[in-house]
Amino acid sequence: MPDMPILRVARPSDDLDALLPFYQGGLGLTLLYRFENHDGFDGIILGNAASPYHFEFTRAHGHVAGRCPTLDHLLVFYFPNEKEWNSAVRRMVSAGFAAVPAYNPYWDRRGKTFEDPDGYRLVLQCAAWPG
């Protein structure tokens, strides 16, 4: 079986440093790489060396990215183990991020939703996938 490719989710931001406390301190990701003025872009890449995904946030010089266009732009992390889910929720709250009501009430039944500084939302779901 061939190796699975790494998934990178990339999006723009106006303030990379404002995202670090949310994704690094709250979600527990590691800053894997940071770059400045790479063809007019600055960026940060966060993830975990053992995970098959990471997140890239970029800031284009002279461009305004703005806030998230809707309340239903989500990243969802499934935690089948309730103890691990509780730990993840506590880490977000300890980092200074309060849960917000989900736009879609489905996510409030077994999850907690948090909003990053750009208005994008992250759901910590206490369930297995598929669930």
38 and 82 in a single domain? The answer is no
In a domain, 112, yes or no: yes
User: Domain limits at 80?
Assistant: 74-125
22 and 49 in a single domain? The answer is yes
In angstroms, what CA-CA distances link 120 with 1, 23, 38, 67, 69? 35, 12, 25, 8, 9
Number of domains in the chain: 2
In a domain, 18, yes or no: yes
- For 87-106, how does the pLDDT look when each residue is reduced to its tens digit (9 = 90+)? 999 999 999 999 999 999 99
> 68 and 113 in contact (C-beta within 8 Å)?
no
- For 41-99, how does the pLDDT look when each residue is reduced to its tens digit (9 = 90+)? 999 999 998 899 999 999 999 999 999 999 999 999 999 999 999 999 999 999 999 99
Dist CA 108 CA 123 (whole Å): 9
